[in-house]
């Protein structure tokens, strides 16, 4: 059986905190990926409308009642996506038109109801029919991210069916959470999308280990961000002064196979849409030796219970 799939990895700078320009860029990148034969198109952590890397570099932003941070938070909220909004629907229409599956990290807002003043670090999956097939919110914002993002839930901890295989994904340091990984392995992934701000050495370790442990293909997706993308209200560290084009996030996107082999070596300091063809039969070839959901698991000893309810 032919189970070959072409994966597209988008490593590009977002249009930082600008929904309109971001939509234009999404369309262009999806069309570029589809023209290169991609059946799955992946974007990095909160690519829409940009990862808040300023939380790791700028001074003073965590001070109580700090006006600049409040302004930036409000603008981030304004330029976040509501999953029930027109932008999410439009991306689905592009996915349907092009016949591609899209996995994209977003800044998410809720217009009304529970969480309407909170921003979530979320991962959306559209299938090739244009349907929003999965909506995952990052369980634990990492370290400094907790100033900006709320905690997610278990509703999106699942792989989804597509015409070519089952696709799942996790966000950043969720890959260091053993029970989260096991939950996703149990859902039966063929391709796992691991989204990051950039995929530095230890994050490559996490991505590669996930592929080996889950006997699946793991796509590590990084992105590009430059000094000029830092909101102007915030004070730049001295090493960034006068260097607007310097990269803060410089990619590192990569793909690993189910035996831990490198399919796409990390791509640094470059923007582009990278593609690689993979054979999903490899997932089952490697599960002969290791299946952490079945013959290499002790369900009589361990029990895993997951609350998949989303607060409403």
Cα gap 188→21, rounded to integer Å? 36
201 assigned to some structural domain: yes
Angle at 54 between CA 43 and CA 123, to 5 degrees: 25
Question: Which of these is catalytic: 15, 25, 45, 108?
Answer: 45
**What residues are paired with 220 via a beta bridge?**
194, 254
Whether the CB-CB separation of 187 and 166 falls below 8 Å is answered with yes
Q: What is the pTM of this model?
A: 0.97
Residue 294 located in a structural domain: no
Confidence grade of residue 1 (pLDDT, cut at 50, 70, 90): very low
Owner of token pair 């839930």: 153
How many residues in the chain? 312
Q: What is the pLDDT of residues 112-154, one digit of tens each?
A: 999 999 999 999 999 999 999 999 999 999 999 999 999 999 9
Is 21 noted as a catalytic residue in this protein? Answer: no
Calpha distance 238→158 (Å, rounded): 43
The CA-to-CA distance between both ends of the chain, in Å, stands at 43
> Is residue 10 included in any domain, yes or no?
yes
H-assigned helices in 3-115: 19-35, 67-78, 86-98
Alpha helices by DSSP H, the chain: 19-35, 67-78, 86-98, 178-186, 201-214, 281-286
User: Does 312 fall in a domain?
Assistant: no
Q: How confident is the model at residue 63 (pLDDT cuts 50, 70, 90)?
A: very high
60 confidence band (pLDDT: 50, 70, 90): confident
Given the residues 15, 128, 172, 286, the one annotated as active site: 172
The number of distinct structural domains making up the chain is 1
Segment 182-200, tens digit of pLDDT: 999 999 999 999 999 999 9
Tens of pLDDT, residues 69-104: 999 999 999 999 999 999 999 999 999 999 999 999
172: annotated active-site residue: yes
Active-site residue, from 138, 145, 174, 198: 138
- No. of helices (H) and no. of strands (E), the chain: 6, 13
Q: At residue 276, does pLDDT exceed 80?
A: yes
Question: For residues 182, 202, 283 and 32, what is the CA-based torsion angle, rounded to 10 degrees?
Answer: 110
> Which residues partner with 141 through β-bridges?
none
Instruction: Evaluate whether 167 touches 193 at the Cβ level (below 8 Å).
Output: yes
pLDDT in the model for residue 312: 81
Buried b (16+ CB within 10 A) or exposed e, 279-288: ebebbeebbe
- Residue 292: inside a domain: no
Asked if the structure places residue 296 within a domain, the reply is no
Q: What is the pLDDT of residue 2?
A: 58
Nearest to 184 by CA among 129, 130, 125, 118: 125
CA distance 160 to 193: 12
* pLDDT at residue 26 greater than cutoff 90: yes
pLDDT of residue 52: 97
Q: Is the dihedral of CA 201, 261, 141, 13 positive or negative?
A: positive
For residue 309, being part of any structural domain is answered with no
Q: Which residues pair with 279 in a beta bridge?
A: 4
> What is the domain extent for residue 251?
4-286
Residue 295 falls within a domain, yes or no? no
Calculate the average pLDDT of the chain: 97
Count CB-CB contacts under 10 A for residue 184: 23
Can you give the pLDDT at residue 59? 87
138 is catalytic: yes
CB 67 within 8 A of CB 34: no
**DSSP of 111-133:** SSSTTTT-EEEEEEEE-TTS-EE
Output the domain CATH number for residue 125.
3.60.110.10
């Amino acid at each position: 059986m032919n189970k070959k799939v072409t994966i597209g990895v988008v490593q590009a700078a977002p249009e930082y905190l600008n929904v309109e320009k971001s939509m234009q860029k999404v369309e262009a990148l999806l069309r570029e990926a589809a023209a290169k034969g991609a059946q799955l198109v992946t974007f990095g952590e909160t690519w829409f409308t940009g990862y808040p890397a300023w939380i790791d570099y700028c001074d003073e932003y965590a001070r109580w009642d700090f006006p600049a941070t409040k302004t930036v938070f409000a603008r981030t909220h304004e330029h976040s996506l509501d999953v029930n909004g027109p932008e999410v629907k439009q991306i689905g229409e592009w996915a349907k038109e092009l016949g591609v599956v899209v996995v994209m990290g977003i800044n998410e807002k809720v217009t009304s109801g529970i969480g309407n003043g909170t921003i979530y670090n979320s991962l959306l999956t559209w299938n090739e029919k244009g349907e929003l097939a999965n909506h995952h919110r990052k369980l634990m914002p990492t370290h400094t991210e907790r100033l900006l993002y709320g905690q997610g839930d278990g509703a999106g901890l699942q792989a989804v069916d597509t015409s070519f295989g089952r696709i799942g994904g996790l966000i950043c340091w969720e890959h260091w959470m053993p029970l989260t990984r096991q939950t996703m392995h149990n859902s039966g992934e063929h391709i796992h999308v691991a989204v990051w701000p950039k995929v530095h050495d230890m994050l490559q370790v996490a991505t590669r280990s996930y592929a080996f442990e889950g006997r699946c293909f793991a796509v590590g997706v990084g992105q590009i961000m430059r000094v000029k993308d830092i909101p102007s209200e915030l004070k730049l560290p001295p090493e960034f002064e006068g260097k607007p084009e310097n990269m803060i996030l410089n990619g590192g996107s990569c793909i690993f196979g189910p035996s831990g082999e490198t399919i796409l070596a990390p791509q640094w300091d470059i923007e582009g849409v990278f593609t690689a063809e993979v054979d999903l039969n490899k997932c089952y070839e490697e599960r002969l030796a290791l299946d952490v959901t079945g013959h290499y698991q002790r369900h009589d000893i361990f029990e895993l219970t997951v609350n998949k309810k989303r607060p409403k």
